[in-house]
A and B are shown apart, each in its own frame.
Chain A
Amino acid sequence: MVDLFRRKLLKTGAAATAMAAASSALGQQAVQADGTAFFERSGIRIRYQDSKRGFPLLIIPGGGLNSALSGLKNPFDTFGELQGEYRCISADLRNANTGQSSGPLEVDRAWDSHTDDQLALLDHLGVKKFAVMGFCIGGPFIWNLLKRAPDRVVAAVLAQPVGFRPEMPTLLYDGSMTGWGPDLVKRRPEITMDMIEKYLSNMYKKNADFVFTVTRDFVKSCQTPVLVLPDDIPAHPYAVAMEAAMLAPKSEVSLYPWKQPPERIPIAVRQIKSFLKAHRPAST
Chain B
Amino acid sequence: MVDLFRRKLLKTGAAATAMAAASSALGQQPTQQGGRGAFYEKGPVRIYYEQYGAGFPLLLIAGGGLSGTIAGLSNPFNAIDEFKSEYRCIAADLRNAPSGKSTGPLEVDRPWDSYTDDHLGVMDHLGIDKFMVMGFCIGGPFIWNLLKRAPNRVVAAVLAQPSGSRPEARNLFYETNSQGWGPELMKKRPEVTKEMVDRFLTKMYRSNPDFVFTVTRDFVKSCQTPVLILPDDIPAHPFAVAMEAAMLAPKSQVSIYPWKEPKERIPVAIRHIRMFLKSNRPAAT
Contact = CB atoms under 8 A, between A and B. Distances in A.
A278 B247 contact: no
A270 interface: yes
Contacts of A277: 279
Contacts of B171: none
Interface of B is mostly: helix
Given A246-B264, A252-B271, A274 B256 contact: no
B275 A270 contact: no
Interface string A227-257: 0000000000000000001100011111110
B268 A263 contact: no
Given A246-B265, A250-B271, A252-B268, A270 B247 contact: no
A278 B254 contact: no
A8 interface: no
Contacts of A245: 268
A15 interface: no
A253 B264 CA distance: 13
B114 interface: no
A250 B247 CA distance: 27
B220 to A, nearest CB: 14
B251 A270 contact: yes
A259 B268 CA distance: 20
A251 B271 contact: yes
Given A246-B264, A246-B265, A271 B251 contact: no
Given A251-B268, A252-B268, A267 B252 contact: yes
B268 A271 contact: no
A274 B275 CA distance: 7
A173 interface: no
Given A274-B276, A278-B275, A256 B268 contact: no
Contacts of A264: 247
Interface string B259-274: 0000011001001101
B165 to A, nearest CB: 22
Contacts of B255: 253, 255
Contacts of A254: 254, 256
B275 A279 contact: yes
A275 interface: yes
A52 B251 CA distance: 27
A267 B268 CA distance: 17
A278 B271 CA distance: 11
Nearest to B278: A278
A281 to B, nearest CB: 13
B59 interface: no
Interface in A197-230: 225
Nearest to A277: B279
Contact of A256 (B226, B256, B275): B256
B271 A270 contact: no
B280 A255 contact: no
B272 A252 contact: yes
Contacts of A246: 264-265, 268
Contacts of B254: 254-255, 267, 271
Contacts of B276: 274, 278
Q: List 6 tightest A-B contacts by C-beta distance, closest first.
A: A255-B254, A253-B256, A274-B279, A278-B275, A278-B279, A277-B279
Given A252-B268, A271-B272, A274-B253, 8 more contacts: A252-B271, A252-B272, A253-B256, A255-B256, A267-B253, A271-B253, A271-B254, A277-B279
Interface of B: 226, 246-247, 251-257, 264-265, 268, 271-272, 274-276, 278-280
8 contacts: A225-B275, A246-B265, A251-B268, A252-B256, A255-B256, A267-B247, A271-B272, A278-B278
